[in-house]
Copies of this chain bind each other. A is one copy, B any other.
Amino acid sequence: MKFSSFLQERDGWETLSSELHFENAHLAVATEEVRTPGRPEGRRWTTVHRKAAVVVAPISAEGKMVLIRQERIPIRSTIWEVPAGQIDDSAELAQLEIEAIALQELREETGYALGAHGEIVPLGHFFSSAGFTDEHAYFFLARNVELTAEGHAHGGSEVITGCETFTPRQLGTMIANNEIRDANTLSICAKLVARGFLVLYA
């Protein structure tokens, strides 16, 4: 299991040993002895290693956000969320290649693509659950998206049952009433608000 080069070990961080418990195509579970700045003697911690991901906030020229409705097996629920997808070998990729993956996920999951005056804006990254997994995702705003003639191309591993556009007021209401309840969508909304790309209210 290769430690992602995205996460650098420096400034007092060092993996001293690692015991692999389980690994498949999607995740690897290991208990590692890790030296930290505050615990130079080392500390044992079980981590779930995951691929990196892209999370895209698609906003139309009218200022509406495109969300998909997707079956999420681990939580036994179907939820409204922004499009997202995993990245193979993210450590090897340049920023432009990651942007291309974000646009591909957008197109496959929603059928939308950048329209006239469209642009993709990188918005940093986040960690989904820093206490137990190294999973991280790159945020992108896709501005001025429009529906393509081809439509979506849902893959075999996911069940997407809907795709609609929502005004900022609708988004605010869905967040306030807990209908939007996944970290990807909530976190990219916070980023969009802080960057001045979205005004949220319920």
Contacts and interface: CB of A to CB of B under 8 A. Distances in A.
Contacts of A71: 36-39
A187 B137 CA distance: 14
Copies of this chain, complex-wide, total 2
Contacts of A195: 176, 202
A53 to B, nearest CB: 8
B190 A186 contact: yes
A40 B136 CA distance: 32
Contacts of A78: 37
Given A27-B29, A46-B24, A125-B178, A74 B194 contact: no
Chain A at the B interface: SS class: mixed
A90 interface: no
Interface stretch (A60-68, A99-107, A126-134, A142-150): A126-134
Interface in A1-43: 7-9, 13, 21-22, 24, 26-27, 29, 31-32, 34, 36-39, 43
B72 A130 contact: yes
A108 to B, nearest CB: 15
A191 interface: yes
Contacts of A136: 75
A50 interface: yes
A175 B161 contact: no
Nearest to A47: B74
Contacts of A29: 21-22, 27, 29, 48
Given A74-B134, A128-B183, A183-B186, 5 more contacts: A24-B46, A48-B48, A74-B133, A176-B194, A190-B193
